[in-house]
Structures are given as structure tokens and as C-alpha cells.
Structure 1
Amino acid sequence: MPDAPRRIRRDALENRARLLEVAARTFAEEGLDAAPAAIAKQAGVGVGTLYRHFPTREALIDAAYRHQLALVCEQAPTLLAQHPAGQALREWLTHFLGYVSAKHGMSEALNAVIASGVDPYSDSKKMLVDAVGELLSAGAEDGTLRADVSADDVLVLIGGLAYSAQHCEKPQAQRLIGLVLAALTP
């Protein structure tokens, strides 16, 4: 009789989540210079716990990147429950720009992951298309957003917005979000 899959203890899940939060922040700030032992210490766990969850630096970087992106994408339904779709999209775009600017410092670390043969971006587009698509569908349904725009089109548009926002002050970034929303309003 095959063994039943082991359930992961709640404290192990919490340790993993803390490691991912600390790792994402640390790699964004320090790039590849971030020491795994320091990440473990900041997360309040031993280095053995870090390596039990993430056997290599690249595995930790990849997991931290994917975790942060998932957190951004998971905001879409929460924001839709709290706001009309147009406002939810504005809030989501603001959150997305914050994520992109924090991830900007991770690019060196992500390049190391890619060099190791892992594609950290393999699921990114689907997660983003799903999140933006959910926001657009809700907006088309409630009349606050155009129904003739695809999630792919919006991702290309906000890719340029994300790049531009890294080179301008926050008030200008918010004005750029306003311009994007004006283009998406019927």
C-alpha cells in the first residue's frame, strides 16, 4: 500500500513564506551578494531550514520571484471585491508598479537563475494575463472598462509603463496610470 503524501506542517509553511519574503527583499537590495545565511537569520530560521526548502541559491531566487508575482496577481479578485472594476484596475496597477520597482534590483539574481537553466518567467505571463483578464472582464461587465481590449494588449502597455515608472517620480507614475486607464475607459 503506497504511503499517503505527508502534510506540510503549518510552521514549515510559515518558515517558507518568511524566507521568500526576506529573500525577495534582500536579493532586490543586494543582488547576488545576498548571503543565504543572512537571509535565514533575518527570517528567523536556521540555514539548514533554508536549504531544506531551497537546496540552491538559484532555487531560492526563483521561488522568491514567483512568490512575489503570485502575491501581486492574487490581488485582482480581492480588489474587485472591494472596488468597482476601473478603480480595482487602478489599485492593481499601482501595486504592480511597486512590485516591478522592487524586482528591478533582482534582475542580476534572476539572470543567474536563467544561466543555471531554469526559466523563472515560464509561468509569469499566464499569471499576469489571468489577473489582468479578470479585471478587464469585470470592467467590461460593469461598463467601467472597454470590452474590446485584450489582457495581452494591456500587458504590453503596462510593460512600457513599468519601465517608464522606474525613471520618474511617484506623482508622474500615478499620472501615467491615469493615462492608461483613460485609454481603457469606454
Structure 2
Amino acid sequence: MRADAQENHDRVLRVAAQAFERDGTGTSLKAIAREAGVGIGTVYRRFPTREALVEAVYRQEVDRLCASASSGTLRAWMERFVDFMATKRGLGETLRAALTSPEEKQQTRDQLRSAIASLLASDPSVRPGIDPNDLLMSLGGITLIAAEERQRELASRLLDLLTEGLQE
């Protein structure tokens, strides 16, 4: 991809992510194109359907979340995970339609487990033998609580308890 095309692609994804979080996935693709400073044809060339754009936004956000595991603490990453999951809920039915194959879902879980394994291995205060999948499932439960904005503070307190339980 040419540099300018890559820049447009990245800008469309960034704007779409913000629009989906703010207004839901029903946001007009024309509005996304306009805000990104590209024509609607550019959006459709890269993302032929709304579902393709939603999936691309989701994949980019998962990649970012997992990449952030290499810089920072386990506790900070868990906060980012909770926030990510709250944002993902805004993608709702459109995301469920886009991620139809079990392989796609498994790929995401594997990516998250790998990030968690890396964080666990790099934190000397964590007791040995923590299964990354167990931690992922625990975080999933906490994100259900954080789904309601009024419960975000409770989710942070639960992350504190989880973090203490991980300590040696």
C-alpha cells in the first residue's frame, strides 16, 4: 500500500473507532468518510461492508491492546482490558455478525492469552503457575460488571482484589 493510502486507511479506522464508540455502529459511513477527510469510495474500497469496517476496527483495537502488554504493568493492562471490553460492547450485533467463524474468535482469545502470559512472566511479584486463560476468564467476568458506567469504579476495586490474589 502506498504511504498516502496507508495513511488514509489508518485515519478511516481511527475515525470509525471513535464514531462507533460515540454513536454506535449505525453511524453513517459517509459521515466517517467526511470526518476522515476521504471520499466514500475510499471507505468502500478498503471496507466493502459495514461489517468489514467494524471487524477491522475491532482487530486494530485488539492488536493495540495486546501490543500494550509489552509496556506497562499487569494491573495497568487489566484496566485497559476492561475499558477495551466496554468499548467492544458498543460494536454489538454488527461485531457478532462480522466475527462469525470459530477460528476468528479463537485467534482473538489466543492473542489475548499470549499478551497475558507475557505480562505474567515479566512480573516477578506474581506467583508462579497462574494460567493465562484463568486470568482472561476472570477479567471477562469483571468486564460484565463494568458494562454499566456506574459500575466502573466497582470493576477497578475488583481488579485490585484480583491483583492481590495473583501476588506471591
CA contact (8 A) 2:55 2:99 kept: no
User: What is residue 5 of structure 1 aligned with on the other side?
Assistant: none
Task: Decide which of 8, 11, 25 is 1:15's aligned counterpart.
Answer: 8
Structure 2: state its 5+ residue gaps. Answer: none
**Correspondence 1:133-148 to 2 at 5 A:** 133-139=117-123, 142=124, 144-148=125-129
Aligned to 1:83: none
Please state how far the C-alpha of 1:107 moved relative to its aligned partner.
Answer: 1.0
C-alpha displacement at 1:119, in angstroms?
Answer: 6.8
Cα shift at 1:158: 0.4
Letter in 2 for 1:101: A
Count of matched residue positions in the alignment of Structure 1 and Structure 2:
167
2:107 & 2:37 partners in 1: Cα distance? 29
Structure 1, residues 60-82: CA drift from partner, whole Å, max 9, x if none?
11111111111111100022xxx
CA RMSD of aligned residues (A): 1.9
- Closer/same/farther in 2, CA of residues 12 and 124 from structure 1, 3 Å limit: same
Q: 5 Å matches for 1:124-135?
A: 124-135=108-119
Q: Residue in 1 aligned with 2:89?
A: 104
Larger Rg computed on CA atoms: 1
Q: Separation in 2 of the partners of 1:30 and 1:19?
A: 16
Post-superposition Cα deviations, 1:5-47, rounded to whole Å, max 9, x if no partner, equal xxx2222222111211222232233334211111111112111
**Partners of 2:83 and 2:89 in 1: CA distance:** 10
For 2:39 and 2:104, locate their aligned partners in 1 and report how far apart those are by CA, in whole Å.
26
**Any conservation in 1 of the 2:8–2:38 contact (CA below 8 Å)?**
yes
> Aligned residues: percent identity?
35
Aligned to 1:77: 70
Counterpart of 2:80 (choices 90, 95, 110) is: 95
Give the TM-score normalised by structure 2.
0.90
- Deviation of 1:150 (Å): 0.9
Structure-1 residue corresponding to 2:167: 185
Amino acid at match of 1:38: A
Segments of 5+ residues of structure 1 without an aligned counterpart are 1-7, 80-87
Q: What's 2:147 paired with?
A: 166
1: CA distance, partners of 2:127 / 2:8: 42
TM-score, scaled to structure 1: 0.82
Structure 1 residue matching 2:158: 3-state secondary structure: helix
Residues 31 and 109, structure 1, Cα contact 8 Å, conserved in 2 = no
Q: 1:42 to 1:119 in 2, by over 3 A?
A: farther
2:37 to 44, 48, 51: 44
